[in-house]
């Protein structure tokens, strides 16, 4: 991101300065466009489910900005002459993506594909938001509470899945979580005083929380309140923590202060790189339980996981 030139167009309301989830461009006093793009390699065996997960992950960035996704274009890399990856599998990937887009009310209007040795799929998504109602990943204030709307652990479980060491008791809930849109969570928060929001993806929960805090705030995370997918602890203890999750934790070593009762494995889980993770909200403490309960009523594993205070970017982990 630092290699990009500074944005000088005043209509760009959200650009690259805060590593936010998507870009926002003001069209009028009543309308702004949200634009985002994401794609990755398969993390599950089922091509259809891979398409669903990738689409849900791509669309999530629009929800994280407080917007409504409306249109998308497919991004595809696929081997043209590989018997192990027939074109029928590509068809299933696209069907999965189209199915999840339809669930979100998004029209898939085309896309682009290239010949690639390793399959890749994702979407470029455009959404709408009112210029005065944008959620950004900065803006939290002291005394805010933190609400997380999905359980974490998909990176660890996906790593174990690739090694064929994850049982269905872990795989099923992980896939269900990754294919779940963040639409319900965004709608539950739409009438509340959201000060900051981001979706939890590759930097893990603590990495994305660090972006919310920047260098101006501290956060206390109550480890036992963080929802964790079934099987995550056991698989992490067995060594299925991906390299990216370990790098996330290492990058935060100077900023994370853990209570003596919080193990290294638990810290790795809190830094686990997620795919299609939930939304992380900072909002007034008086509204946090309302948001969490609204999400729970919609079938989400939401929880109030901590609070924000004045400080210098430190994250405290405690029971």
CATH number for the domain that contains residue 84 = 3.30.1330.10
For the chain, percent of residues with pLDDT exceeding 70: 99
Within this chain, do residues 190 and 55 fall inside the same structural domain, yes or no? no
Q: Would you say residue 41 has pLDDT above 90?
A: yes
Within this chain, do residues 170 and 300 fall inside the same structural domain, yes or no? yes
Within this chain, do residues 162 and 274 fall inside the same structural domain, yes or no? yes
Write down the pLDDT at residue 81. 83
Within this chain, do residues 252 and 148 fall inside the same structural domain, yes or no? yes
Task: List the end-to-end C-alpha distance of the chain, in Å, as a whole number.
Answer: 36
| Cβ 216 vs Cβ 151: under 8 Å | no
In-domain check, residue 4: no
In-domain check, residue 137: no
Supply the range of the domain harboring residue 213: 144-318
How many C-beta atoms surround the C-beta of residue 110 within 10 A?
Answer: 8
Q: Kindly state the helix (H) or strand (E) to which residue 279 belongs, with its residue range.
A: strand 279-284
Dihedral sign, CA of 85, 86, 87, 91? negative
Q: For the full predicted model, state whether its pTM sits above 0.85.
A: yes
Write down the pLDDT at residue 1. 45
In-domain check, residue 136: no
Write down the pLDDT at residue 34. 98
What average pLDDT does range 53-64 have in this prediction? 98
Within this chain, do residues 93 and 179 fall inside the same structural domain, yes or no? no
CA distances from 55 to 69, 75, 187 (A): 12, 10, 19
Q: Supply the mean pLDDT for the chain.
A: 96
How many C-beta atoms surround the C-beta of residue 190 within 10 A?
Answer: 12
């Amino acid at each position: 991101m630092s290699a990009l030139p500074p944005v000088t167009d005043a209509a760009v309301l959200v650009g690259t300065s805060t590593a936010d989830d998507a870009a926002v461009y003001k069209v009028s006093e009543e309308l702004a466009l949200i634009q985002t793009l994401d794609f990755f390699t398969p993390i599950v065996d089922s091509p259809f489910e891979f398409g669903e997960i990738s689409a849900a992950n791509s669309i999530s960035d629009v929800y994280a900005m407080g917007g409504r996704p409306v249109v998308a274009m497919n991004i595809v890399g696929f081997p043209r002459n590989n018997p192990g990856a027939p074109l029928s599998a590509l068809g299933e990937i696209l069907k999965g993506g189209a199915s999840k887009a339809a669930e979100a009310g998004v029209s898939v209007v085309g896309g682009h594909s290239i010949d690639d040795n390793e399959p890749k799929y994702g979407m470029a998504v455009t959404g709408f938001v009112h210029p005065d109602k944008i959620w950004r990943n900065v803006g939290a204030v002291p005394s805010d509470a933190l609400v997380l709307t999905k359980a974490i652990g998909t990176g660890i479980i996906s790593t174990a899945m690739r090694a064929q060491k994850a049982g269905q008791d872990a795989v099923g809930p992980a896939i269900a979580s990754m294919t779940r849109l963040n639409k319900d969570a965004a709608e539950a928060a739409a009438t509340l005083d959201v000060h900051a929001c981001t979706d939890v993806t590759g930097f893990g929960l603590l990495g994305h929380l660090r972006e919310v805090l920047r260098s101006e705030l501290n956060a206390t995370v109550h480890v036992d309140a963080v929802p964790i997918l079934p099987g995550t602890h056991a698989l992490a203890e067995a060594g299925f923590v991906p390299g990216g999750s370990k790098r996330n934790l290492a990058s935060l070593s100077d900023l994370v202060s853990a209570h003596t009762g919080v193990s290294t494995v638990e810290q790795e889980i809190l830094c686990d790189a997620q795919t299609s993770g939930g939304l992380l909200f900072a909002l007034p403490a008086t509204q946090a339980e309302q948001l969490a309960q609204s999400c729970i009523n919609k079938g989400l594993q939401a929880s109030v996981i901590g609070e924000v205070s004045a400080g210098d970017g430190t994250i405290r982990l405690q029971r």
